[in-house]
Copies of this chain bind each other. A is one copy, B any other.
Amino acid sequence: MNAHHLIDLNDISVEQWDALIRLAADIRLNPRDYMGRCRGRIMATLFYEPSTRTQMSFQAAMLRLGGEIIGFDNPGNSSVSKGESLKDTVRIVSGYSDLIVMRHPQEGAAKAASMYSLCPVINAGDGGHLHPTQTLTDLVTLSNEKGSLSGLKIGVCGDIKYGRTVHSLIKAMCKFSGNVFYLISTPELGVPGYIKEVMSSSGCGCLEVNSLEECIGELDVLYMTRIQRERFATPEEYERNRGVYILDRKKLSKAKADLSIMHPLPRVDEIEDAIDDDRRAVYYRQAVFGMYARMALILRMLEEDVITAKGFGKPIDGAVCTNPRCITHTEHYLPGCFSQEGGASSCCYCDTRLA
C-alpha cells in the first residue's frame, strides 16, 4: 500500500508548499521542458459528483505532462457507483492507473480511498470538507501576483461562514508572517470561531468590517465569494444586504492600483462584468495558475514521491463519528479511526471532533 497521498494540504509542510509553488512557476515559464514527463502514466479521475471545471483542469494538467486519462464523471450513469463499495472501485481502478483524482460528495471519502488504493490519491474535493488543490491554486496565484506570501492585507468578502475555500485559504496564509485579514461580511455570515482562533494563535492580524467600501482602499488582495440567497432569513434582508458585497466599478475606484481581485469561480453576480478587463481582475489568471499548480502536484507525486500522508489513527472502543455526512456512515466496512491531539479525539476521515 503506497502512502503518498494528498488528502489535506496541511498534511505536508510549508517547505513542501514552497517547492510546489516554485515548480508550478517553472512549469509555467518552461512548459516544453515538462511535456513528456508523465509519458506512459495514467491518471484516473473518479468524479462521484460532477465538477466539470476541476476535472478539466486536472485533465489539461496531466495531458500537458504527456500522460493519459481514464475515469468517470457521471455517477448516475456509472455502473461503479451502483452497489459497489468505494473500496472495491478504488482497489480495482488503482490497478489500472498510476494516480487517482477523486471528487466525492461525502466528507472523508478521499481519506477512505487512500486506505485501499495501490497508487497515490489526490483529494479533488470531499463534500464540504477539504479541497486542497483549490488552496494550492490560491497560493500559487498569490505568490506569482504579489511576489510573496507574507505581509499582505487580504480582504475576504461575502459568505465567509460556510465557505470552505476561504477557511482553507486563511488557515494556509496564517502560516506566513505579517498577513492581516479583513473579514468583510454581515454579522450573521462571519467566520466561525475556530478560524478566528487560528488567526489569533498565528499572530496574524484580523479586522471585522461591514462593507467593502470602508476597507477596499487598504487591501493588497480581495478574495470574493458568493452570498447565496438562502443564507438570509427573508428575501428583503437578502436584497438589502447583497449590494454591499458586490464589487462594482464604483467601489473599485477606491482601490489601490496593485490590488489583486481573486475568486474561486464560478461567480454569479458578485463581481460586475465590467471589471473583467481591469488588470486588477486576477480570477481568470487564477484558473490558469490552478492548472500549473496541478501539473506541479501530479509531477511531484508521480516522480518524487515526497508527498506524505497523515497517519490513519486508531479505533476507539464504541466511538463512531458524529458527522452525518462522514463517509463512515455509508461505507460500513471502514474501520473507525481517530487521532488524538491535545485532549480531543477527531475522526481521521472527516476531522470532526468527538464530543
A interface, CB within 8 angstroms of B? 32, 35, 40, 42, 44, 50-53, 56-57, 59-60, 63-64, 66, 68, 70-74, 76-80, 82-84, 87-88, 91-93, 95-97, 265-268, 273, 276, 284-285, 287-288, 291, 333
Contacts and interface: CB of A to CB of B under 8 A. Distances in A.
B288 A96 contact: yes
A96 B266 contact: no
B266 A53 contact: no
A96 B56 contact: yes
A51 B79 contact: yes
B80 A52 contact: yes
Contacts of A76: 77
A80 B78 CA distance: 19
Contact of A56 (B71, B276, B333): B71
Closest 4 CB pairs of A and B: A60-B96, A95-B288, A84-B266, A63-B68
A290 B64 CA distance: 27
A268 B85 CA distance: 8
Contacts of A42: 60, 63-64
Contacts of A56: 44, 70-72, 93, 96
A52 B93 CA distance: 11
13 contacts: A32-B40, A40-B66, A42-B63, A52-B72, A53-B79, A53-B92, A56-B71, A56-B72, A57-B96, A60-B96, A76-B77, A92-B287, A96-B288
A287 B80 CA distance: 13
B68 A77 contact: no
Given A42-B64, A63-B70, A95-B288, 6 more contacts: A40-B66, A56-B96, A57-B96, A84-B266, A95-B284, A95-B287
